[in-house]
Amino acid sequence: MKEPNRNDNPWRAAGLVGAMGADLVVCTLGGYYLGNYIGSRSGAETFWMITGLLVGLAVGVISIIFLIKYYTEG
């Protein structure tokens, strides 16, 4: 008899999609607020806010890539 694949669980897939969304939002907002904080201290608010936003977005995407790798290997 064939053993069921644990990746076939729809609840596990729904959890992965939810974790991906939450991860991207948290990283992007964290980058935005960090850039806003640095910008308010240095005087170049817009530059640091946009830089922080883009860095947070990049960190979120990289984190999602690692999350998907972990999900597909496990």
Which of 29, 38, 14 lies closest to 59 in space, CA to CA? 29
Contact 56/27 with Cβ under 8 angstroms? yes
pTM of the model: 0.81
24-66 pLDDT per residue, tens: 999 999 999 999 999 998 888 899 999 999 999 999 999 999 9
